[in-house]
């Protein structure tokens, strides 16, 4: 699970916000969908990997991305 932010604000704030964003999605998947917590990892990417690189402040840059690496 990756959390992302737009460019607004300081780097430290965005790093923490993006981590909280990813954690919130993880919490939802665990509590509401029954996904085992130990199968999920979260990371905050801050504003360094924008979805819209031409507008670093665009709303689509504020997102969480779920990445599936296959089952074990």
Which residue matches tokens 């665990």? Answer: 30
Asked whether the beta carbons of 61 and 47 are under 8 A apart, the reply is: yes
Q: Which domains does the chain have, with CATH numbers?
A: 2-65 (3.30.1330.60)
**φ, ψ (nearest 5 deg) of residue 18:** -65, -35
pLDDT digits (tens, 9 = 90+) for 34-56: 999 999 999 999 999 999 999 99
Asked whether the beta carbons of 6 and 47 are under 8 A apart, the reply is: yes
pTM: 0.91
What b-and-e string marks burial along 23-48, b requiring 16 or more CB atoms within 10 Å of the CB?
Answer: bebbeebeeeeeeeeeebebebbbbe
pLDDT at residue 69 in the model: 83
């Amino acid at each position: 699970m990756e959390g992302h932010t737009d460019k607004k604000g300081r780097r430290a704030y965005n790093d923490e916000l993006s981590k909280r964003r990813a954690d919130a999605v993880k919490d939802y998947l665990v509590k509401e969908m029954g996904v085992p917590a130990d199968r999920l990892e979260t990371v905050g990417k801050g504003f360094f990997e924008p979805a819209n690189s031409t507008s670093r402040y665009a709303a689509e840059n504020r997102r969480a991305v779920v990445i599936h690496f296959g089952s074990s």
